[in-house]
């Protein structure tokens, strides 16, 4: 099977390629803005930027493909919402158009728990829950717009069968440097995370989480299905503030989300840190996920508990671990300083 993977150097993409390369038997094409140095791992790399007009690279990459796995998405610069929309929403539109033109039969699209409307309580929701998103979150709004593109395509009778995966927060040790770069101010060393004395969080926080390797497993299983369905992906148990504090070795200090949001908003506006307040809105409002459809129809069972995913990810954060791809490259003090001087804060800087 010829498989093309957009965003192949990111969190899920690296996990999926690990799995498929070891398994063998596939012709693999990785699409990324900044491909890694070519190695003898059986992956053909194509460089293209999904924020711009298609230069023909996508069509060439998709030609002859049996399926496309669309993982590419952006999280920074958080102050440049137009760029994030061009990548997430515009990129999905370009991938869909190129897949149709190339005669691809199946598209697996990485959606998110963030596409769902706010929860009403802590009961898990299935795939029929409305996908109107969380209004305060740019990430959520863009995931919703991507879902609407897919809805319209299917309503028009588009020939590519579409599978949508809606995972909770995805973690793994090797993505830690990328997460640090996107979410932690450059002046804060990774090891400082292990020295936090207290962690202020709202006790009501409750979020689904899943390991990148288990998401990769779900993608592989979905590729074996005809397409046309959506699947929730999450491990048990849901992550609580107490679990986060324990993983960090900090003491939990209950603080209402409204108070935390004001602090996040001010520090983001002043460019002190690069995580916009919409992420807190999203964390407080996302529903828990009922994963019975994935288990029943795909035969998917997560191998890593959510608590274990959290502990592994935090351990990776403290050690600044990485997979070595350009987007997940090691986060070094000299590199952080050089980027800050040359290109400005992460939340504002243009992409190279």
CA separation (Å) from 196 to 55, 109, 176, 210, 348?
A: 47, 37, 17, 24, 27
331 found inside a domain: yes
Please name every residue paired with 106 in a beta bridge, in sequence order, or none if there are none.
Answer: 67, 161
What is residue 337's predicted lDDT score, i.e. its pLDDT?
Answer: 57
In a domain, 327, yes or no: yes
pLDDT tens, residue by residue, 226-237: 888 999 999 999
pLDDT at residue 332, as a whole number: 63
Q: Looking at the predicted structure, is the pLDDT value of residue 324 above 90?
A: no
Q: Does the pLDDT value for residue 93 go beyond 80?
A: yes
Distance between CA atoms of residues 222 and 329, nearest Å: 29
Q: Is residue 346 part of a domain?
A: no
Q: Over the stretch 143-193, which tens digit does the pLDDT of each residue have?
A: 999 999 999 999 999 999 999 999 999 999 989 888 888 888 877 888 888
CATH at residue 295: 3.40.50.720
Give pLDDT, residue 258. 97
Number of domains comprising the chain? 1
Instruction: Report CA Rg, the chain.
Output: 19
Q: How far is CA 190 from CA 193, 252, 325, 333, in A?
A: 6, 20, 19, 10
DSSP summary character for residue 192: G
Predicted pLDDT of residue 339 = 58
| 84 within a domain of the structure (yes/no) | yes
Mean pLDDT of the chain: 92
Show the domain range for 85: 2-341
**Domain-located, residue 56:** yes
| Distance from C-alpha of 13 to C-alpha of 80, rounded to nearest angstrom | 24
- What average pLDDT score do residues 109-129 get? 98
- Mean pLDDT confidence for 257-285: 96
pLDDT digits (tens, 9 = 90+) for 1-37: 999 999 999 999 999 999 999 988 899 999 999 998 8
What CA–CA distance (Å, rounded) separates 136 from 264? 13
Instruction: Examine residue 349 and state whether it is found in any structural domain, yes or no.
Output: no
pLDDT at 334 over 60: no
Has residue 352 got a pLDDT over 50?
no
In a domain, 352, yes or no: no
Q: What is the pTM of this model?
A: 0.93
Query: How confident is the model over 286-316, as pLDDT tens digits?
Result: 999 999 999 999 999 999 999 999 999 999 9
Asked if residue 32 is part of any domain, the answer here is yes
């Amino acid at each position: 099977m010829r498989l093309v993977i957009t965003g192949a150097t990111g969190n899920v993409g690296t996990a999926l390629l690990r799995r498929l390369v070891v398994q063998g038997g596939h012709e693999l094409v990785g699409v990324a803005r900044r491909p890694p140095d070519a190695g003898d791992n059986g992956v053909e790399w194509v460089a293209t930027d999904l924020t711009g007009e298609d230069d023909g690279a996508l069509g060439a990459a998709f030609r002859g493909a049996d399926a496309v796995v669309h993982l590419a998405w952006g999280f920074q610069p958080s102050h440049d919402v137009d760029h994030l929309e061009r990548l997430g929403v515009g990129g999905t539109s370009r991938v869909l158009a190129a897949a149709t033109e190339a005669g691809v039969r199946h598209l697996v699209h990485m959606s998110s728990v963030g596409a769902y409307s706010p929860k009403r309580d802590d009961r898990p929701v299935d795939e029929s829950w409305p996908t109107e998103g969380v209004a305060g979150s740019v990430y959520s709004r863009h995931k919703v717009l991507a879902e609407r593109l897919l809805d319209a395509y299917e309503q028009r009778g588009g020939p590519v069968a579409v599978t949508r995966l809606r995972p909770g927060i995805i973690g793994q040790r090797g993505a830690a440097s990328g997460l640090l770069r996107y979410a932690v101010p450059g002046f804060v060393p990774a090891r400082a995370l292990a020295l936090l004395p207290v962690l202020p969080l709202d006790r009501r926080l409750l979020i689904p989480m899943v390991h990148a390797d288990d998401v990769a497993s779900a993608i592989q299983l979905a590729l074996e299905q005809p397409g046309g369905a959506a699947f929730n992906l999450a491990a048990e148990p849901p992550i609580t503030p107490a679990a986060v504090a324990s993983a960090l070795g900090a003491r939990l200090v209950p603080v209402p989300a409204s108070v935390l949001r004001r602090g996040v908003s001010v520090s983001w506006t002043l460019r002190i840190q690069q995580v916009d307040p919409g992420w807190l809105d999203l964390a407080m409002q996302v529903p828990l996920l009922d994963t019975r459809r994935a288990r029943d129809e795909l035969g998917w069972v997560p191998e890593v508990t959510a608590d274990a995913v959290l502990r592994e990810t935090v351990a990776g954060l403290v050690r600044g671990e990485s997979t070595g791809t350009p987007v997940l490259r090691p986060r070094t003090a000299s590199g952080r300083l050089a980027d800050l001087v040359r290109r400005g804060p992460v939340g504002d800087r243009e992409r190279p």
